[in-house]
Amino acid sequence: MITKPKISEPKICEKHVSEKEKQAIMKTIEKTTEKVVSLALENGMIVSQLNADPKKVEDSTNLLVGIMNVGANAFQEKIGRPMTYSEMREMYG
């Protein structure tokens, strides 16, 4: 019988951060994200879905998801846990 090796899940170690500190961290990540998205829009890296080539729309979507993932990773690094859905909505609308 073949058994799969056990892969340990990374442990989440939530840091003791006050609500005020968490809000400040979220605001910083949000501002950074807004700057990155703004630059991508200015440089034509993000296009509207309404009148663009489907490949460019797909690339834009992937870029935006990547930017949000960077923010989510920064949140987890600073807070010690993944952000909740409501925290994600608060930061990214």
Q: How confident is the model over 42-76, as pLDDT tens digits?
A: 998 988 878 778 888 899 999 999 999 999 999 99
Say if residue 90's pLDDT is above 80.
Answer: yes
Asked if residue 1 is part of any domain, the answer here is: no
**15-46 pLDDT, tens digit each:** 888 999 999 999 999 999 999 999 999 998 98
Q: Give me the number of domains the chain comprises.
A: 1
pLDDT at residue number 15: 80
Q: Do residues 87 and 74 make contact, with C-beta atoms less than 8 angstroms apart?
A: no
| Domain-located, residue 42 | yes
In a domain, 10, yes or no: no
Asked if residue 74 is part of any domain, the answer here is: yes
Structural domain includes residue 26 = yes
- Whether residue 48 is contained in a domain is answered as yes
CB 81 within 8 A of CB 19: no
Query: What was the pLDDT predicted at 4?
Result: 59
- Tell me, yes or no, whether 51 lies in a domain: yes
Instruction: Provide the 10 A C-beta neighbour count for residue 60.
Output: 19
Q: Which residue has the higher pLDDT, 15 or 1?
A: 15
Q: Which domain holds residue 52?
A: 19-92
Could you tell me if 76 and 82 are in contact, meaning their C-beta atoms sit under 8 angstroms apart? Answer: yes
Q: How many CA atoms lie within 13 A of 68 on its CB side?
A: 15
Domain assignment present for 24:
yes
